[in-house]
Amino acid sequence: MPNSPAEIRLLDHGYSREARSLLYQAYRHDPTFAHIFEADRPGFDQRVRATIRELIHQHFNEELPALGLLIEDRLIGMVLIAPPQRRFDLTESWAWRMRMLLTTGFRCTRRYLEYHDAVMACLPSDNYHVLPLIGIHPEFQGQHLGEQLLEALHDWCAEDPHSKGIVLDTGNPHYLSFYKRKGYEEIGEVAVGPIIEHVFFHPNPQVSVKASA
């Protein structure tokens, strides 16, 4: 366990550099990213770095929220959040598409957009938060810090009266039981090449209370 307590903080573009480094470490071994960005071809690390960079740039450029988990001012975990009222569709941004084409190539960009569209098609309604990226630095995994980040995320999203809950997806089977333990229900599956991407939904506490009233 870390010697110092972890602190939750709302992030802005000033954390972009740290966020890029953290999420690259979190996603460089992700099976979905490995397929989309062709891990068996030279330049894979650069394509993952470029994708993370462009997603973070687009997120903060749109002034969308992000929560960070810090220990002694070091960013060791974070999540990008797309609220229901201001969710940005990547497919609408030609500037984002062009940057992706130039840095990851046509085939990888097309694969990413196909994956993105397939996941979006699984979503239950318009009133939910979506998590484009979430990760804990590998050095700090296995210390229950992911649980702390998720609990803070649930509390933060529950304050939005327009949101019914949170949607995220993963193609890493290692995380399936973890999300289910934290109250996530699987609402869909997407085939990403040989990878099965699982789409999960977690209702906000306020919705659960209303449903049982």
Q: Are 72 and 2 in contact (CB under 8 A)?
A: no
How confident is the model at residue 5, as a pLDDT?
Answer: 87
Read out DSSP for the chain? --SSPPEEEE--GGGHHHHHHHHHHHHTT-HHHHHHTTTTSTTHHHHHHHHHHHHHHHHHHTT--EEEEEETTEEEEEEE-B-TTTPPPGGG-HHHHHHHHHHH-HHHHHHHHHHHHHHHTT---SSSEE-S-EEE-GGGTTSSHHHHHHHHHHHHHHT-TT--EEEEEE--GGGHHHHHHTT-EEEEEEEETTEEEEEEEEE-HHHHHHHH-
> Structural domains in the chain?
7-212 (3.40.630.30)
Q: Tell me, what's the pLDDT at 1?
A: 47
Nearest residue to 67 (alpha-carbon basis) of 81, 84, 87, 57:
81
- The answer to whether 187 and 198 are in contact (CB under 8 A) is no
Q: In this predicted model, what pLDDT tens digit does every residue of 54-70 receive, in sequence order?
A: 999 999 998 999 999 99
Residue pLDDT tens, the chain, 213 long: 456 789 999 999 999 999 999 999 999 999 999 999 999 999 999 999 999 999 999 999 989 999 999 999 999 999 999 998 665 565 667 888 899 999 999 999 999 999 999 998 998 776 899 999 999 999 998 888 999 999 999 999 999 988 899 999 999 999 999 999 999 999 999 999 999 999 999 998 754 444 444
Cβ neighbours, 10 Å, residue 194 = 8
